[in-house]
């Protein structure tokens, strides 16, 4: 990866790229939402909360009234958000396989 001599060893370029792509993707929302309703998988909030969980590993999260939980001013806040908790042990069936069984 270019820039390894500048970035610390702990820097994960993939995670940074993914975070940046979610942020950049959220910037097209104002144009689209003005024309039609739409559904987005893993919007900006998903990566922000993942980063919080990885940063505060000792279980003490920042207070709920801090900047960590606020949307950036240039991102549209969703009208409705769903969180779907999927079993991560690999034994859960995907919705696609359940659909194919019908």
**What pLDDT score does 5 carry?**
55
**What pLDDT score does 77 carry?**
82
Non-local (6+) Cβ contacts of 62 within 8 A are 52, 56, 68, 69
N-term to C-term CA, the chain: 46
- pLDDT tens per residue across span 53-79: 888 877 788 888 888 788 888 777 888
Query: Structure tokens of 25?
Result: 């993707």
**What pLDDT score does 1 carry?**
47
Query: What residues in the chain have per-residue pLDDT under 50?
Result: 1, 98-99, 102
**What pLDDT score does 97 carry?**
54
**What pLDDT score does 6 carry?**
58
**What pLDDT score does 30 carry?**
76
Helices (H), 2-94: 13-26, 29-33, 44-55
């Amino acid at each position: 990866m270019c820039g390894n001599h500048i970035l610390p060893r702990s820097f994960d370029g993939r995670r940074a790229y993914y975070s940046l792509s979610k942020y950049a993707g959220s910037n097209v929302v104002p144009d689209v939402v003005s024309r039609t309703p739409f559904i987005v998988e893993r919007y900006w909030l998903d990566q922000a909360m993942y980063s919080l969980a990885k940063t505060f590993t000792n279980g003490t999260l920042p207070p709920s009234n801090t900047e960590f939980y606020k949307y950036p001013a240039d991102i549209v806040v969703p009208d409705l958000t769903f969180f779907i908790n999927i079993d991560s042990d690999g034994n859960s069936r995907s919705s696609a396989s359940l659909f194919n069984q019908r």
